[in-house]
Chains A and B, each alone.
Chain A
Amino acid sequence: MGWALIRAYTVLVYLFMFLPVAVVVLLSFNASQFGSFPMTGFSFRWFETLWQNDAIVRAFRTSITLGLMTAVVSTTLGVLAALALVRYRVPGRDMITTLLIAPILVPEVVLAVALLLFLNALNINKSFGLLLMGHVIFTLPFVILVVQARLVSIRRDVEEAALSLGATPRQTFLSVTLPLLMPAVAAGALFAFTISFDDITGTLFWKPGGVETVPTQIFSMLRNSISPEINALGTVMIVMTVGLPLIGAGIARHLANRKGG
C-alpha cells in the first residue's frame, strides 16, 4: 500500500469533514433570495437581516449569559474538586473520579429526562435556573479532566518551597498554585462555555417556552426550510466557537512566553 494512496485518502477524509461547513460559509455571502445554489453574487445582506432579527439577537443574549454563568460555576466546582483529587490522598479516589465523570457516561437524553422530572417533583419548573443546573452538570466532567491533567504537571516542590519559606497554605495557594494553574482554569472555563453554547439536546428538554438559545433557534428555523439567514447565523457561530478558543490559546501562549522570558 503506497504512502501516496494513504495521503490521498486522508485528504478525502479532511474534505469530507470540512467541505459541508465551507459551503455554509460560502452560501452565507450569497446575494440570492434563497439559501442555496447558484451563487448570484457576494453580499453581506444576510448578516444585516440577522442583526435586525430580534429573536436571533435575543437567542444570542441567552446563550452567552447561560454560557458565561455555566463556565463560572462549573470551573469553580471543577477546580476545587481537581485540587482535592490531585493534591490530597483521598480514600476511594477512583470511585469518586468515576462518580464525577458519570455525567458524560450517561446519555444526554437520559440525564435531561431525569433532571427535568426530579426538579419538577420539587416544584422547580422549566426555567433559566434549570437550564443552568443542567449545563453545569454535563460540563463539570470536562472541566475536571482538563484541570486535573494540568495540575499533575505542576510540581509539588514549588509549593513546598513556598511553605518552607513561611507562607501559609492560603498564601501558597493564592500566590504559587493559582497562577500556575491559570491556563488550566482558562481552558476549563472556555471548554465549559463552548459546550454550553453548543448544546441542544438537553436544552430542548429544559428550556421554558419562549426562551431560545442559538442552537434551538436554528433548530426551530430549520423546520421550514433552510434560509440564507441560517447560513449566516452558522457562519457567525463558527467564527465565535472556533475564533474564541484560538484567541484563548493565543493569549495563553503570550502569557506563558512573557513568564518564560
Chain B
Amino acid sequence: MTIEARERRQPWILLSPALAAVVLLLVVPLLFIVVYSFWLRSAAGADTPGFHLDNWQKVLSDRFYRDILLNTLKIAAITTAVCAVMGYPAAYFIARSKGNRMILLVLLMLPFWISYIIRTMSWINILGISGALNSVLLTLGIISEPIQMLYNEVTVILGLVHFLLPFMVLNIYVSLEGIDTNLEDAANSLGATRWQSFLQVTLPLSLPGLAAGGFLCFVLGAGTYITPVILGGPRDAMFANLVFEAIIRQLNWPLGSALSLLLLAVLGALVLIYNRYLGMAQLAKGLG
C-alpha cells in the first residue's frame, strides 16, 4: 500500500469506532422509532407492525397532548427569560471585575459538578412544610401555621432556573469577555453616559452570547423530566413526563415513539433555526 493511501485511510480507521457508536446507538434507533410510531399497540403480545396513522392522529389532535406541549414551551420560555434577567448582570460583573475573576468563574462552574437531583431536591429543604423558609417565618411570627409553598408551576420554574442559570451566565460571560473594553471607553469619551454606552455598544455586541445561553436554557428546559416530578404538582406535568408515562408505565411503545418524535421535531426545529442564523460556533465557545 502506498503511503498516501495509508494516510487517507488512517483517519477513517480512527473515526470508525465513534461513528459506528453514534450511528448504531442514535441514528438507527431514531429511524427505528419513526417506523415504530406507525405501528399499533396490541393489548397482549407483540405490537402490530404496519402503517397506521392512529398514534400520530392522537398525538396531534388530542387537546390533552397539545395543552401539555404548549405548557412545556411556556415553562421553558419563562425559565429562559428569568435566567437572562438574573444572569446578565452577574456575567457582566464577572467579566468586568478587577479582582478574583478566577474564583468567581470556578464558583460558577461548580454547580455543573454538583448532582442535578441533589440540587433539585435541595429546594424541598428550603420551601417544604418543615423547610427553612417556613421555620424562619414561624419564628418571626409572620405565619402561625406552616404553608405549603412547593409542588406548583412556580417551584418547577424555580428548580429549572437553578439548574440552567450557570449555562446562561457562562455563555454571556464568554461573549462579554471577547468585547474590547476600548470600545466602551471610546463611546464614553465621545460624550455617551455609561448607561448609553452600555446600551448601544456593549449590549448589542454581547447578544450572541445571550442568544446561545437562551437557546441552551430553552432546549434543556423543555426536555426536562425530573424537575416537574420532584418540584411540581400533579397538574404540572411536562412533555417528557408524558413520554415516560407512555413508555415505562403504560408500555404503549408506538404512542411513546410518536410523542418522542413530536418533542424531537419541535426542539429540533429550534436547533436548526439557531444553527441557520447564529451557528454552533458560539455554543462550542461556551462549552470550552
Contacts and interface: CB of A to CB of B under 8 A. Distances in A.
B117 A219 contact: yes
A148 to B, nearest CB: 9
Nearest to B238: A109
B11 A84 contact: yes
Interface in B186-213: 194-195, 198
Contacts of B115: 198, 215, 234, 237-238, 241
Residue among B11, B32, B248 with the most chain A CB within 10 A? Answer: B11
A20 B280 CA distance: 33
Given A6-B89, A81-B18, A231-B125, A107 B240 contact: yes
* Dominant SS among interface residues on chain B: helix
A36 B93 contact: no
Contacts of B89: 6, 9-10, 13
Given A1-B195, A14-B107, A99-B22, A113 B257 contact: yes
Interface in A93-147: 96, 98-103, 105-111, 113-119, 121, 133-134, 136-137, 140, 144-145
Given A88-B11, A115-B25, A241-B113, A27 B125 contact: yes
B40 interface: no
B122 A100 contact: no
- Counting from the closest, the 6 A-B pairs by CB-CB distance are A107-B223, A118-B29, A114-B29, A20-B122, A88-B11, A36-B130
A61 to B, nearest CB: 17
B119 A116 contact: no
A162 to B, nearest CB: 17
Nearest to B198: A1
For the complex, would chain A's binding face be called helix, strand, loop or mixed by DSSP majority? helix
Interface of B: 7, 10-12, 14-15, 17-19, 21-23, 25-30, 32-33, 36, 86-87, 89-90, 92-94, 107, 110-111, 113-119, 121-126, 128, 130-132, 135, 162, 165-166, 169, 194-195, 198, 219, 222-223, 225-226, 230, 240, 243-244, 247-248, 253, 256-257, 260-261, 263-264, 267-268, 271, 280, 284, 287-288
A55 interface: no
Nearest to A144: B18
Contacts of A108: 223, 225
B117 to A, nearest CB: 5
A226 B166 CA distance: 26
B154 to A, nearest CB: 15
A21 interface: yes
Contacts of A200: 116-117, 226
A64 B102 CA distance: 31
Contacts of A226: 121, 124-125, 128
B125 A24 contact: yes
B113 A133 contact: no
Nearest to B112: A194
Contact of A84 (B15, B92, B126, B226): B15
Contact of B14 (A36, A80, A121, A245): A80
B15 A113 contact: no
A60 interface: no
Contact of A23 (B90, B122, B169, B261): B122
Given A9-B90, A80-B18, A140-B22, A114 B32 contact: yes
A117 B36 contact: yes
A234 to B, nearest CB: 4
Contacts of A119: 29
B123 to A, nearest CB: 6
Contacts of A234: 115, 118, 121-122
Contacts of B32: 114, 117-118, 121
Contact of A109 (B92, B123, B225): B225
Nearest to B254: A117
Contacts of B117: 198, 200, 215, 218-219
Contact of A17 (B10, B165, B219, B256): B165
B121 A222 contact: yes
A115 to B, nearest CB: 5
B77 to A, nearest CB: 16
Contacts of B114: 21, 237-238, 241-242
Given A16-B86, A21-B119, A36-B131, A109 B271 contact: no
A68 B114 CA distance: 18
